[in-house]
Structure 1
């Protein structure tokens, strides 16, 4: 199990320094260093005054980052050196009109993305209509097949040459371009076919900031992500372009696409990917380059967990109908919101109060969960079923105390997923209305309070109710050091900001 997160833009020299520092610390008997050695290399022990060999320290460092060996870590860093890309380039303006057009036109999966950039690209192209004539990267981003065809005729290898402001290949600029939603589909597909016919790789991708999940051509086609569909939309012709790439051999098991699209209940991307074998195979060339990537089957299990706990019944049905394992407990760690906690999908549905998904899974053959008063109490609370809550409390007097101990941040998750009556019922049961938790997943995490969530989501009724229940408007979240009012302002929620302004002691915007 990794205990450290991979840094952005990792370099081998940093890991070498970490290994040497660990070697020195073990030699001096540092307790933390000895604990790291015991955790990641059982059986290894310092050899008197000599400490440990550098190779042992390197192995411990590699395992701390989730790699089985130092060579596996170095192979990954070689992959980063070849395929890594720095999202900071998206914020760096350039003088050359063709390069600047590419920079403004394309998704960069950074905070720079959004309609304002794309409007700038349109204006630049209008001022310099010939900027695509000498740059195949700009011609691809603008989907101008005549210019692309002429440039390829002059030198066919241009189809596989890196260039432009991001050092991407031309096809990548085409599929990540968003500057003009009204661009003709015929021009987009004609440009893509020219590049593929000239040797462009349908598997092309980059490791954004050196992180291990590749952003591929398919990732760019399907779009979406943490900034929402306004700032990170799908390509206007995602279906046709996606099918073209899949027909050309792109592997449908695109983990970053699954992540970027999981926030929306729309399953059209999954339906297309299942046509081409999503969930089957060995994971393609990227799995070969980065062995630590999830297998196709495991990636879909992680997606199933998200769909269950985020009340996406149509997605649950689609995944089950395509053979995703819905009976086994989750015993392999995925992301932080998908822990190996041993719960089955039907248990997760029940504890989330989602009888529709639970009943569906049971009807498909999932094993009914055994009796658990704590799970049943939380499930009843999420259904706002007070009579069942009272019955469980009478039969199991310690259930509420155990629930509070096991799920101290439950009010935050309830604020994001359940009716206001559930939030009020949990507070009545003694759950702390000011507890820190996570609103994005039903796992414990010291992130924000329920009031932060309601303020940032613009939920006026919930914000007022939380204040009535004793929520403290002056608490700061643990990630951005911001008050709920800061969240409302930063996320452009004037209705909740108006409620919080009179009751917040420190009204200056924080770091939210």
Structure 2
């Protein structure tokens, strides 16, 4: 059965990360549309890529070998990008990505959302996360595997948007991959060559990561960067945009479970605020179970409300679809105070 006009466009609009209002409800609506219009995969190669249907993509490539490098006129996205940013259930994303790359797909493809720099690249979609939190903009389920394939096929490791999106939480899996493939080395990258000085240099990208890790007491990240020879942050005359003008409260500047326990035992306030919120709000939003547990253990108040949204840490967790931290906070938060 042939799908109605616009059905494929609706699926792609709902299935992919938008970085505006993402979440499981959108992806469920996309899957419902796919179930209602099963012929879309055969009709639309970008939908076929989004659902990771390797056989369907192979048939599309036989009919049109240029599909691998084609961009959608609606938004400039390639099929490989549709695959990396989709959060619907996929059949075999790795095999589909290999097919597209073998056919000439650009591993550095990307778009400038809203005209902004850095661009959102295929790697960005694989690594996920960002300002909405990992519950709303999660990593691709096979993100590390796909990112490794892209890097092996020549993707530029200097992905400023991916570095930004993944810096808020403590996991460093993305950095290990990027560092192993040359992050911070050389004098340019694919997008630096395209955008010139609008795109940060490789050295500055790594220095920004040092700054963030140092400001927030992310000792494992600092050790990882140092092991690759990166110990310097941004210079005083070209500072990081997120370097704090005033020192962060001790509990924020030691934002690991071990660090929190240490500074609170030395007298630090576990409910101190930075940017109008407590560390418990932040830990709840990013789904950091160990950090939430440590903060509750040292006496952080689960009833405290942030300045911008008047919400408790539980409210932050629930908005961000951070189910694991919400489950920890729900029993210790008074009903009706999320």
Does the pair score TM above 0.5?
Answer: yes
Q: Paired residue for 2:289?
A: none
Question: Structure 1 residues 210 and 335 mapped into 2: Cα distance closer, same or farther (>3 Å)?
Answer: farther
Supply the distance in 2 between the matched residues of 1:136 and 1:330 (Cα, whole angstroms). 47
Q: Paired residue for 1:121?
A: 30
Aligned pairs, how many?
308
Per-residue deviation at 1:159?
2.2
SS of 2:129's partner is coil
Supply the distance in 1 between the matched residues of 2:123 and 2:164 (Cα, whole angstroms). 12
Q: Paired residue for 2:44?
A: 135
Q: Paired residue for 2:276?
A: 448
* Kept after mapping to 1: 8 A contact 2:302/2:314: no
Per-residue deviation at 1:260?
1.2
Supply the distance in 1 between the matched residues of 2:282 and 2:223 (Cα, whole angstroms). 30
> Scaled by the length of structure 1, what TM-score is found?
0.53
2:210 is equivalent to residue 304 of structure 1: yes
2:264 is equivalent to residue 419 of structure 1: yes
Supply the distance in 1 between the matched residues of 2:254 and 2:127 (Cα, whole angstroms). 30
* Kept after mapping to 1: 8 A contact 2:17/2:137: yes
* Kept after mapping to 1: 8 A contact 2:112/2:119: yes
Q: Paired residue for 2:12?
A: 102
Q: Paired residue for 2:199?
A: 293
Q: Paired residue for 2:301?
A: 463
| Residues 262-316 of structure 1 deviation map (CA, whole Å, 9 limit, x = unaligned) | 1222222222222211111223121123213221122111111212232222211
Supply the distance in 2 between the matched residues of 1:103 and 1:451 (Cα, whole angstroms). 34
Q: Paired residue for 1:73?
A: none
Q: Paired residue for 1:196?
A: 101
SS of 2:198's partner is coil
Of the candidates 65, 72, 75, which is equivalent to residue 163 of structure 1? 72
SS of 2:42's partner is coil
Question: Structure 1 residues 242 and 483 mapped into 2: Cα distance closer, same or farther (>3 Å)?
Answer: closer
List structure 1 segments (4+ residues) > 6 angstroms apart after TM superposition.
454-460
Q: Paired residue for 2:132?
A: 227
Supply the distance in 2 between the matched residues of 1:421 and 1:494 (Cα, whole angstroms). 28
Question: Structure 1 residues 498 and 284 mapped into 2: Cα distance closer, same or farther (>3 Å)?
Answer: same
Per-residue deviation at 1:169?
1.5
- Structure 2 unaligned blocks of 5 or more: 286-291, 319-328
Of the candidates 181, 184, 188, which is equivalent to residue 276 of structure 1? 181
Supply the distance in 2 between the matched residues of 1:262 and 1:97 (Cα, whole angstroms). 36
> Scaled by the length of structure 2, what TM-score is found?
0.77
Supply the distance in 2 between the matched residues of 1:113 and 1:271 (Cα, whole angstroms). 27
Supply the distance in 1 between the matched residues of 2:101 and 2:169 (Cα, whole angstroms). 31
2:319 is equivalent to residue 483 of structure 1: no
Question: Structure 1 residues 419 and 330 mapped into 2: Cα distance closer, same or farther (>3 Å)?
Answer: farther
* Kept after mapping to 2: 8 A contact 1:414/1:422: no
Larger radius of gyration: 1
SS of 1:269's partner is helix
* Kept after mapping to 2: 8 A contact 1:415/1:454: no
List aligned pairs for 1:22-421, cutoff 5 A: 96-110=6-20, 112-163=21-72, 166-180=75-89, 183-184=90-91, 187-290=92-195, 291-326=197-232, 330-338=235-243, 410=249, 413=252, 418-419=263-264
Per-residue deviation at 1:424?
4.8
| Residues 382-434 of structure 1 deviation map (CA, whole Å, 9 limit, x = unaligned) | xxxxxxxxxxxxxxxxxxxxxxxx66x84884797652863459x9xxxxx7x
Q: Relative CO higher for 1 or 2, CA cutoff 8 Å, sep ≥ 6?
A: 2
* Kept after mapping to 1: 8 A contact 2:112/2:120: yes
Q: Paired residue for 1:23?
A: none
* Kept after mapping to 2: 8 A contact 1:484/1:500: no
Supply the distance in 2 between the matched residues of 1:456 and 1:236 (Cα, whole angstroms). 21
Per-residue deviation at 1:453?
4.8
SS of 1:463's partner is coil
Per-residue deviation at 1:150?
1.8
Of the candidates 326, 329, 334, which is equivalent to residue 498 of structure 1? 334
Per-residue deviation at 1:450?
5.0
| Residues 183-220 of structure 1 deviation map (CA, whole Å, 9 limit, x = unaligned) | 44xx3223222222333211111112222111111111
Supply the distance in 1 between the matched residues of 2:98 and 2:279 (Cα, whole angstroms). 51
Question: Structure 1 residues 280 and 246 mapped into 2: Cα distance closer, same or farther (>3 Å)?
Answer: same
